[in-house]
C-alpha cells in the first residue's frame, strides 16, 4: 500500500513542510529508513539521527521541524501520530468470516457469519461469537462465553466457561482467562477447595499479552475495565478489578480482591497484595511490592537497583547490622 | 438445585437458629445476598455487613450467632463450612465418559470408559487414563503418562512423556508438566545440553493453576506431594520436591533440587534458590528471596513495602551511603 | 542400549582405570547407581558418596581417580563428560517424517519430507519447515514462519507469523514466540496501539523453556542469538537482543530494546529494564533489578536474602528511619 505524504497528513492532521506528493510505502527507524519510508522522532535520545536520515518523510514536533533534512510532517505528538500512521499504512489483515472445517463448534453455540473460527478451535455449548470476531487456531472457548464484536484471539488462547469479552479486545497466545481463583479453606492441615463461582468480565478495547492468567471470581466477578493494556505473563487473581485505561507490564501481578484504579501504570514484575485499594493515577515502578492501599495519586517504589555484587554484599551486611549501628549512635548520644 | 437449611446443616454439622425449612439455592456475599441465598461471615472486616444482610441464612461462628438478623447456621469455622456448602450446592459438572470424535487417542493408550476425552485432545502411545478422568479440549497427554482416577485437566494442558498424576488432581489451562529441566554443561563457552531423564510425579489431590511450568528431573524425579495447591505462573525446576499440603501463590518459584517441607506457604513472587532444604511449616512472605536452607519453622521475609518514590529514592541513596555513615560513627567513637 | 566402558570412553576421550569391558546401560546418581549404571562426580558436595557407590563406572577427574572404588573413567570435566555420555546412552527418539492425518498444513506451506508434523498441529500459509524438524501436537506455526533443520517444538507451542527459528532449536510447551510487542501511544488518557511490524529471529542451537513469551519487534526485529538457553516463564520484550550463549533462568525478563551481551548469565526472576546495554560476560544474580547499562563484565546484584520475619521487619523499619539516624550522627558531629 502506497500513499502520498499529503494523504497521510490529512489523516493525521499534520502540516507538511517539503514534498507533499512523495509516496510512502512503509515505516522504519530514523537510522534505517530509506526512500519510500516514513520515520518519526519522539525520543530526544535519537535526535542526532535526524540530520542524516534518508527517510522520505519524518513525523516531528514543531520544535524539530526546522532541523528535518527531508519532508517534515509536523504534529503535536509524533509518537501518537506514528501509531496512527502505522495503523493507516498497515491495515490489519482480517480473515473472511467462516468456520474452518477442522474447527469444532458446538451446535448450541452462536457464531456470527462474519466471524472467523480457525482450524482446531473448539467453541463449546452456548458460546456467543460476535460479528467480525477472529479466533485463531487452537483456541478453546468455553461454555456460555461471550465475545463481542471485532475482538480477536491469537492462537492457543483458553477462555473458561462464562467469560465475557468486550468489543475490539485482543488476546495473545497462551493466555488463560477464567481459571479458578486460588481459594482454599484449611481443615486440620489439609486444603479444601472453595468452588469458584464468579466470572471474568473484560471490557472493550482491552489488550492482554501472551501467557497471562486471569482468574475467575470466588463469588462476584473479576473485572478488567475498558482500555486496559496488559503485557505478557501477568497474574490477575480472583475478584480483582483493574480500572479503565490502566497499563501493566510483564510479570506483574495483583493478588485477590484488590481494586486498582483508572489510568494507573504497573511496571514490570511489580506485585500488588490482596484486599487493597489503589486509587486512580498511581504508578508503581518495577519490582515494587505494594502491601498497603494507596489513596494518593503518585509514583510508588520499592525496587532496588543492582550494583556490583561485592558492593551489594557489603550493603546487605550493613543493613543487617543497622541495629548495632543504631545502638552505637545511642551510646554516643548518651555519652555526650 | 435447592435444599433446605436443615438439609445443608446436616451436611455441615451446623446448628440452626431460625427457620430450618427455608430453601437455599445458591451463595452470595453478605452485602449482595438476597432471598434463597446463603452467605458466610469469616473475616472480621465484613462483620458490619451482618446486621443488614438480606441473605436467607448465614454461616457464622458461635460468637456471631446472636447478632445474625436472619437464620444462623452456627459452625466452628464458617470459611471451611462455606467451602463445603458450595461443594454441596454447586456439584461439579462432569462430562459423561467417552472420547470425542475430534480427539486423537493412540491405539496403545488405555482410556477408562468412564473417562472423558474432549475435542482436539491428543493422547499418545502407552498413556493410561483412569476412571472418571476429565480431559478438556486441546490437552496433549504424552507417551506413557498415567492419570489416576477422577483427575481433571482443563483445556490446553500439556503433560510430557512419563508424567504421573495422582487421583483427584486438578490442572488448569496452559500448564506444562514434564518439560526438560534446565541443565547444561559448559564447553569452551558453549552450553551442552544434559538430557533430562527423570519424570514428574504428582500426588493425589494436587491443584495446579494456569500457565505453570514443572520440569522433569535430571536423573531422579521431580515430586509434588499430595494435597499441594499451586496458583498460576509458578516455576518448579528439576528435582524439586514440594511437601504435602504446601501452598504456593502466583509467580513463585523453586530452583533446582530444592526440597520444600510439608504444610509450608510460599507467597506471591517469592523465590527459593537451588539445592536448599526448607523444613515443614515454613511461611515465605511475598517477593522474598530464600538462598539458605531453613531448618526452623516460622515466617521468613525479604520483601520491601513500596512507598512514595521520592522517599524511596532517598532510602536507596541512604543505603548506598551506609558505609560512610558507619565510618562517621566510628570516627565519633574514636573522638570520644 | 548397552555399551562397554571402553566404547563410551573412546567417545568421551576418557582414561579407564578398571574393567573396560563391563557393560553400561544407563546412568544414575552416585548414591542410587547399581550394576550396569554409570555415575559421575562433579560436585564436591557429593564426594563422600564416591566411596560407597555401587555404580559400574564413575566419571571422575584426575584428582578423584584414586578414590574411586569401582571402574573410573577419568576426564577433565566430569559434568561435561556426563552430558555427552547421556547423549550417547540415550539417543533422542525422533519420529519418522510425515504429516499426521489430524494435522492441518496449508497447501502453500512447505514441509520437508523428513519433518514430522503431529496431530492437531496447524501450519499456516507460506511456512517453511526444514528437514528433520519435529513439531509436536497442538503447535500453531503462523504464516511465513521458517523453521530450520532439526529444530523441535514440543506440544502446544505458538509461533506467530514471520518468526524465524534456526537449526537444532528446542522450544518447550506453551511458549509463545512473536506476540505483539507492548507498544502504545497515549491520547488523552487512552492507549492507542502501535502496530508491531518486526519479527523474532532465533539463531541456531537455542533452547527456550516452557511458557515463555518472546515479543516481536516494533519496527526492527527481536533477536535471540545462537546458543542462548532460556528456562521457563521468561519474558523477552520487543526489540531485545540476547547475545550468543547467554543463559537465562526462570521468571527472568528483559524489557524493550535492551541489548544483552554474549556469555551472560541472568539468574532467576532477575529483571533488566528497557533501553539498556549489558556487555558480554555479565552475571546478574537472582531477583536483581538492572536499571542502568553495564559496561564492565562482572557480577551484579540487588536481591536481598530472606531472614526471620520479625528480624526482617525491624530492618525495614530501620531502613525507613535511616534519615533520622543520619541526622542524629550529624548532630553528634556538630557537638564534637
* Given C238, C245, C251, C275, the catalytic residue: C238
Interface of C with B in 160-219 (CB under 8 A): 170, 172-174, 205, 207, 209-211
Q: Read off the pLDDT of residues A250-304 as tens digits, 9 standing for 90 and up.
A: 999 999 999 999 999 999 999 999 999 999 999 999 999 999 999 999 999 999 9
B76-80, B329-333, C106-110: which range is least confident on average? Answer: B329-333
* Across A1-28, average pLDDT: 96
Q: Read off the pLDDT of residues A108-149 as tens digits, 9 standing for 90 and up.
A: 999 999 999 999 999 999 999 999 999 999 999 999 999 999
Cα C71–Cα C77–Cα C82 angle in degrees, nearest 5: 65
* CB of A142 closer than 8 Å to CB of A159: yes
Give which of A231, A314, A336 to mutate to test C binding, by max C Cβ within 10 Å.
Answer: A231
Is residue B238 flagged as an active site residue?
yes
What pLDDT is recorded for position B45? Answer: 87
* Across B130-139, average pLDDT: 98
CB-hemisphere CA count at 13 Å for B124? Answer: 22
Q: What whole-number distance in Å separates Cα of residue C221 and Cα of residue C229?
A: 19
Residues of chain B with pLDDT > 70, as a percent, come to 100
Q: Read off the pLDDT of residues A166-203 as tens digits, 9 standing for 90 and up.
A: 999 999 999 999 999 999 999 999 999 999 999 999 99
Q: Read off the pLDDT of residues C280-311 as tens digits, 9 standing for 90 and up.
A: 999 999 999 999 999 999 999 999 999 999 99
Closest-CA residue to C288 (of B190, A311, B247): A311
**Which of helix, strand or coil describes residue B283?**
strand
Give the pLDDT band of residue C92 (cuts 50, 70, 90): confident
- Nearest CB to A187; choose among B80, B100, B307: B80
Q: Please, what sign has the CA dihedral across residues B76, B82, B83, B87?
A: positive
CB-hemisphere CA count at 13 Å for C229? Answer: 20
What pLDDT is recorded for position C93? Answer: 84
Give the pLDDT band of residue C102 (cuts 50, 70, 90): very high
| pLDDT reading at C123 higher than 90 | yes
What pLDDT is recorded for position A1? Answer: 77
* CA distances in angstroms from A272 to A10, B18, B312, C236, listed in the order given: 44, 41, 17, 22
Q: What whole-number distance in Å separates Cα of residue B183 and Cα of residue B181?
A: 6
CB pairs under 8 A between B and C: 221
Q: Read off the pLDDT of residues C159-175 as tens digits, 9 standing for 90 and up.
A: 999 999 999 999 999 99
Query: Chain B residues with CB inside 8 Å of C310's CB?
Result: 299
Strands in A298-301's sheet, in edge-to-edge order, are A98-99, A116-117, A134-135, A152-153, A170-171, A207-208, A229-230, A247-248, A265-266, A282-284, A298-301, B307-308
C-beta atoms of B190 and C227 within 8 A: yes
Is C83 an interface residue toward B (CB < 8 Å)? yes
* Across B246-274, average pLDDT: 98
* Across B64-90, average pLDDT: 97
Is C31 an interface residue toward B (CB < 8 Å)? no
* CB of A25 closer than 8 Å to CB of A46: no
* Across A306-325, average pLDDT: 94
Neighbours of C35 (CB within 10 A): 12
Is C103 an interface residue toward B (CB < 8 Å)? no
C-beta atoms of A136 and C140 within 8 A: yes
* CA distances in angstroms from B261 to B7, B241, B245, C268, listed in the order given: 39, 8, 9, 21
* Across C223-239, average pLDDT: 98
A36: left (phi over 0), alpha (psi -120 to 50) or beta: left
Q: Read off the pLDDT of residues A206-228 as tens digits, 9 standing for 90 and up.
A: 999 999 999 999 999 999 999 99
C-beta atoms of B235 and C229 within 8 A: no
Interface of C with A in 280-319 (CB under 8 A): 283-285, 287-292, 298-302, 304-305, 307, 314-315, 318-319
C-beta atoms of C271 and A249 within 8 A: no
What pLDDT is recorded for position A220? Answer: 96
- Nearest CB to C235; choose among A207, A232, A303: A232
B19 CA: distance to closest CA in chain A (Å):
24
Quick one: how far is CA B293 from the chain centroid? 23
C-beta atoms of B184 and C229 within 8 A: yes
Give which of B102, B210, B307 to mutate to test A binding, by max A Cβ within 10 Å.
Answer: B210
Interface of C with B in 40-69 (CB under 8 A): 45
Is C330 an interface residue toward A (CB < 8 Å)? no
* Residue B83 CB partners (closer than 8 Å, separation 6+): A183, A184, A185, A192, A193, A194, A195
What pLDDT is recorded for position A93? Answer: 84
Residues of chain A with pLDDT > 70, as a percent, come to 100
Query: Chain A residues with CB inside 8 Å of C290's CB?
Result: 305-306
C-beta atoms of A120 and C122 within 8 A: yes
| pLDDT reading at A150 higher than 90 | yes
Query: Chain A residues with CB inside 8 Å of B210's CB?
Result: 158, 176, 179, 213, 215
The chain B residue lying nearest A336, using CA atoms, is: B336
Predicted-assembly ipTM surpassing the 0.95 threshold: yes
* CB of B145 closer than 8 Å to CB of B169: no
The chain C residue lying nearest A42, using CA atoms, is: C185
What pLDDT is recorded for position B133? Answer: 98
* Residue B298 CB partners (closer than 8 Å, separation 6+): B281, B282, B283, C308, C309
- Please tell me chain A's helix, strand, coil percentages from 3-state DSSP, rounded to the nearest 5: 15, 30, 55
In the structure grid, which three cell numbers stand for residue B92, read together? 461439579
What pLDDT is recorded for position C336? Answer: 80
Q: Read off the pLDDT of residues A22-78 as tens digits, 9 standing for 90 and up.
A: 999 999 999 999 999 999 999 888 999 999 999 999 999 999 999 999 999 999 999
| pLDDT reading at B1 higher than 80 | no
C-beta atoms of C231 and B233 within 8 A: no
In the structure grid, which three cell numbers stand for residue C226, read together? 545462537
C110: left (phi over 0), alpha (psi -120 to 50) or beta: beta
B130-134, B216-220, B319-323, C192-196: which range is least confident on average? Answer: B319-323
* Across B246-256, average pLDDT: 98
* Across C49-65, average pLDDT: 97
What pLDDT is recorded for position A251? Answer: 98
The length of chain C in residues reads: 336
Give which of C28, C29, C38, C155 to mutate to test B binding, by max B Cβ within 10 Å.
Answer: C155
C-beta atoms of C306 and B305 within 8 A: no
Q: Read off the pLDDT of residues B179-225 as tens digits, 9 standing for 90 and up.
A: 999 999 999 999 999 999 999 999 999 999 999 999 999 999 999 99
Is A91 an interface residue toward C (CB < 8 Å)? no
What pLDDT is recorded for position C45? Answer: 87
| pLDDT reading at C335 higher than 90 | no
Give the pLDDT band of residue B335 (cuts 50, 70, 90): confident
- Nearest CB to B210; choose among A176, A288, A301: A176
* Across C7-18, average pLDDT: 98
Provide the pairing of β-strand C152-153 with C170-171: parallel
| pLDDT reading at A336 higher than 90 | no
Residues of chain C with pLDDT > 90, as a percent, come to 96
Q: Please, what sign has the CA dihedral across residues C303, C305, C308, C314?
A: negative
What pLDDT is recorded for position A126? Answer: 98
C-beta atoms of A318 and B322 within 8 A: yes
Amino acid at each position: 500500500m502506497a500513499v502520498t505524504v499529503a494523504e497521510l497528513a490529512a489523516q493525521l492532521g499534520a502540516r507538511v513542510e517539503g514534498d507533499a506528493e512523495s509516496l510512502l510505502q512503509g515505516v522504519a527507524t530514523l537510522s534505517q529508513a530509506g526512500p519510500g519510508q516514513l520515520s518519526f522522532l519522539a525520543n530526544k535520545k535519537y535526535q542526532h539521527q535526524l540530520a542524516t536520515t534518508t527517510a522520505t518523510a519524518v513525523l516531528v514536533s514543531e520544535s524539530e521541524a526546522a532541523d528535518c533534512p527531508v519532508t517534515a510532517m509536523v504534529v503535536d505528538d509524533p509518537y501518537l501520530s506514528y501509531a496512527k500512521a502505522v495503523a493507516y499504512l498497515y491495515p490489519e489483515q482480517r480473515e473472511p468470516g467462516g468456520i474452518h472445517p477442522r474447527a469444532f463448534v458446538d451446535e448450541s453455540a452462536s457464531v456470527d457469519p462474519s466471524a472467523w473460527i480457525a482450524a482446531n478451535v473448539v467453541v463449546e455449548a452456548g458460546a456467543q461469537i460476535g460479528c467480525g470476531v477472529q479466533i485463531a487456531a487452537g483456541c478453546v472457548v468455553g461454555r456460555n462465553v461471550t465475545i463481542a464484536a471485532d475482538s480477536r484471539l491469537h492462537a492457543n488462547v483458553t477462555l473458561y466457561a462464562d467469560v465475557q469479552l468486550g468489543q475490539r479486545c485482543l488476546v495473545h497466545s497462551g493466555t488463560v482467562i477464567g481459571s479458578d481463583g486460588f481459594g482454599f479453606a484449611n481443615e486440620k492441615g489439609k486444603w479444601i477447595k472453595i468452588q469458584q463461582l464468579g466470572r471474568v468480565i473484560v471490557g472493550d478495547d482491552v489488550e492482554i499479552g501472551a501467557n497471562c492468567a486471569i482468574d475467575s471470581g470466588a463469588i462476584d466477578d473479576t473485572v478488567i475495565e475498558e482500555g486496559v493494556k496488559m503485557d505478557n505473563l501477568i497474574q490477575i487473581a480472583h475478584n480483582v478489578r483493574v480500572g479503565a485505561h490502566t497499563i501493566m507490564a510483564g510479570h506483574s501481578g495483583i493478588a485477590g480482591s484488590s481494586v486498582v484504579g483508572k489510568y494507573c501504570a504497573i511496571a514490570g514484575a511489580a506485585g500488588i497484595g490482596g484486599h487493597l485499594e489503589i486509587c486512580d493515577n498511581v504508578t508503581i515502578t518495577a519490582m515494587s511490592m505494594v502491601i498497603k492501599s494507596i489513596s494518593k495519586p503518585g509514583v510508588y517504589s520499592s525496587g532496588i537497583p543492582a550494583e556490583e555484587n561485592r558492593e551489594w554484599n557489603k550493603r546487605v551486611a550493613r543493613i543487617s547490622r543497622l541495629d548495632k549501628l543504631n545502638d552505637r549512635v545511642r551510646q554516643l548520644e548518651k555519652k555526650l
